């Protein structure tokens, strides 16, 4: 056994990457790294009783040339008696649809989606990829330089993927060691010319920064890998603590749409846990696919928002995620849309469904006495129709038991109504436009002081949640 094989096998054992008798899917582009990985796994296949399958994606960036790469990988797999799965995916066409996305990000997403489909189709629990020690250095430096400290630990040796895991057995070796391995066994990889183009960020790091680091220390990749593993271990521990805090602060959550938190408990936590709670929230809403342009600056901006002496404010994050601060509550949401002003005519006995999904119901009084701001009793002098509308600038209500009037805006502020809810909040007026009632908040002086069975009209506000619970 040569030094290369011994080093990789030791790394595999240390991280428990490949149990004996495993079925492994290998992502093979045909380039030096993936071809070396395929050959290595073929060499240890009998010893470890492995079943191997190959997946290849032609991203169609280079036309016939990249298609021939796919045919070449297929030919090697045939010669080595390894099942081959290949797919041509028109990534350039997909990039045109997603104008703001980078070509690298789109290609990666579609490639991994294909790998996941093959794993599911053939019930393969392990995906092996050929990222090596130089890739690790580049990744960590790129993320730190860009300010993306959310995942600055770099490439993980092993992590959950699809219905199994993805592993990187080559993170312990360098690009130079891989090339010598190929040369020793006279293996002929294909070369993608775009890997040398300065257009791509990673290539610039590879071309200009890595040579300097390797000159300073030929074993720099070992130190970066150790740094990555230690950081991941520390992060795992802190994330467990953050999850405990997260479970205490979440008020409402809808996957991929909205999450609301109570700020008191969050602000009592140490700052490292605050940051990680926000990271958990973002992962939840972005469904573990954080945008490339989401950076540590966004986390800092959210921290600043929730610590601000101003009780309200908002932030706009990548991919239309909005963050609203409203007093002791913070709302993260994709679901909020601009609320169009509305007005409904409300006749006797009608039920109105509002834009927020809640209802206003009107019925004649019975023996039951209704109290609270979810009810309002019309007096005998009220004439129909009533109107239900959204708020307007300058709205004022003459409050029951008070002299003068109060701004509706002040009413929302006093009751700490979240800013996103104010434009959809219903205002009930009489025929002349006088505000009678702001459901759940305040009643006007025009409410009847007496209720007469079979005669007095009762207005009721039914929240969406209450309404749907009542349908069961």
Q: Residue ranges of the domains in the chain?
A: 3-218, 239-333, 343-469
Which distant-in-sequence residues (6+ apart) come within 8 Å of 344 by Cβ?
352, 387, 388, 389
pLDDT of residue 174: 95
Q: CA quadruple 2, 223, 239, 127: dihedral positive or negative? A: negative
- In angstroms, the CA 70 to CA 9 distance is 28
Q: What is the pLDDT of residues 37-92, one digit of tens each?
A: 999 999 999 999 999 999 999 998 888 888 999 999 999 999 999 999 999 998 88
pLDDT of residue 469: 37
Could you give the percent of the chain with pLDDT greater than 90? 62
How many other β-carbons are positioned within 10 Å of the β-carbon of residue 421?
15
Select the CATH number that applies to the domain covering 3-218 from these four: 3.60.20.40, 3.40.50.620, 3.40.50.300, 3.20.20.370.
3.40.50.620
Displacement of CA 8 from its chain's centroid (Å)? 34
Rounded to whole angstroms, what are the CA distances from 428 to 193, 384, 400? Answer: 68, 12, 15
pLDDT of residue 336: 56
Q: What is the pLDDT of residues 370-390, one digit of tens each?
A: 888 999 999 988 989 999 999
- In angstroms, the CA 298 to CA 286 distance is 14
Q: CA quadruple 86, 92, 96, 101: dihedral positive or negative? A: positive
pLDDT of residue 71: 96
Length of the chain: 472
pLDDT of residue 70: 95
Which distant-in-sequence residues (6+ apart) come within 8 Å of 310 by Cβ?
325
How many other β-carbons are positioned within 10 Å of the β-carbon of residue 247?
10
pLDDT of residue 149: 61
Q: Give, in words, the CATH class of 239-333.
A: alpha beta
Rounded to whole angstroms, what are the CA distances from 281 to 120, 130, 247, 420? Answer: 28, 31, 11, 19
Q: What is the pLDDT of residues 129-155, one digit of tens each?
A: 999 999 999 999 988 887 766 667 889
């Amino acid at each position: 056994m040569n030094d290369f094989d011994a080093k990789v096998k030791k790394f595999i054992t240390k991280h428990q990457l490949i149990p004996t008798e495993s079925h492994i899917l290998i992502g093979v582009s045909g380039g030096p790294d993936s071809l070396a990985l395929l050959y290595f796994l073929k060499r240890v296949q009998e010893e470890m009783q492995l079943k191997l399958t190959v997946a290849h994606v032609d991203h169609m960036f280079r036309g016939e040339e990249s298609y021939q790469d796919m045919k070449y990988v297929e030919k090697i797999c045939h010669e080595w008696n390894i099942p081959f799965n290949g797919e041509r995916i028109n990534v350039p066409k997909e990039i045109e649809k997603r104008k703001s996305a980078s070509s690298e990000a789109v290609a990666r997403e579609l490639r991994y989606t294909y790998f996941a489909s093959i794993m599911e189709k053939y019930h393969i629990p392990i995906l092996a990829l050929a990222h090596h020690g130089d890739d690790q250095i580049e990744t960590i430096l790129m993320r730190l330089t860009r300010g993306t400290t959310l995942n600055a630990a770099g490439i993980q040796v092993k992590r959950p993927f699809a219905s199994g895991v993805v592993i990187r057995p080559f993170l312990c070796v360098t690009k130079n060691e891989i090339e010598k391995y190929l040369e020793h066994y006279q293996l002929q990889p294909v070369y993608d010319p775009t890997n040398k183009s300065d257009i791509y960020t990673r290539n610039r790091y590879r071309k200009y920064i890595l040579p300097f680091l390797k000159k300073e220390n030929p074993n720099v990749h070992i130190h970066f890998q150790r740094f990555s593993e230690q950081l991941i271990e520390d992060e795992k521990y802190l994330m467990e603590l953050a999850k405990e805090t997260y479970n205490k602060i979440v008020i409402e959550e809808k996957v991929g749409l909205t999450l609301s938190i109570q700020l008191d408990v969050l602000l009592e936590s140490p700052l490292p846990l605050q940051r990680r709670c926000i990271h958990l929230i973002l992962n939840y809403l972005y469904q573990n696919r954080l945008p490339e342009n989401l950076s540590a600056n966004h986390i800092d901006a959210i921290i600043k928002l929730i610590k601000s002496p101003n009780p309200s404010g908002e932030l706009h994050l990548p991919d239309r995620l909005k963050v609203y601060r409203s007093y002791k509550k913070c709302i993260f949401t994709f679901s909020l849309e601009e609320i169009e002003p509305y007005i409904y005519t409300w006749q006797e006995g009608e039920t109105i469904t509002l834009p927020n999904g809640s209802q206003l119901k009107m019925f004649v009084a019975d023996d039951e006495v209704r109290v609270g701001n979810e009810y309002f009793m019309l007096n005998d002098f009220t004439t129909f129709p009533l109107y239900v509308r959204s708020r307007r600038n300058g709205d004022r209500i003459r409050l029951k038991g008070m002299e003068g009037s109060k701004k509706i805006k002040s009413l929302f502020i006093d009751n700490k109504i979240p800013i996103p809810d104010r434009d959809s909040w219903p205002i009930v007026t009489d025929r002349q436009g006088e505000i009678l009632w702001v459901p759940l908040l305040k009643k006007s002086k025009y409410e009847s002081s007496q209720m007469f069975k079979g005669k007095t009209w009762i207005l009721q506000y039914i929240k969406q949640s209450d309404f749907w619970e009542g349908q069961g």
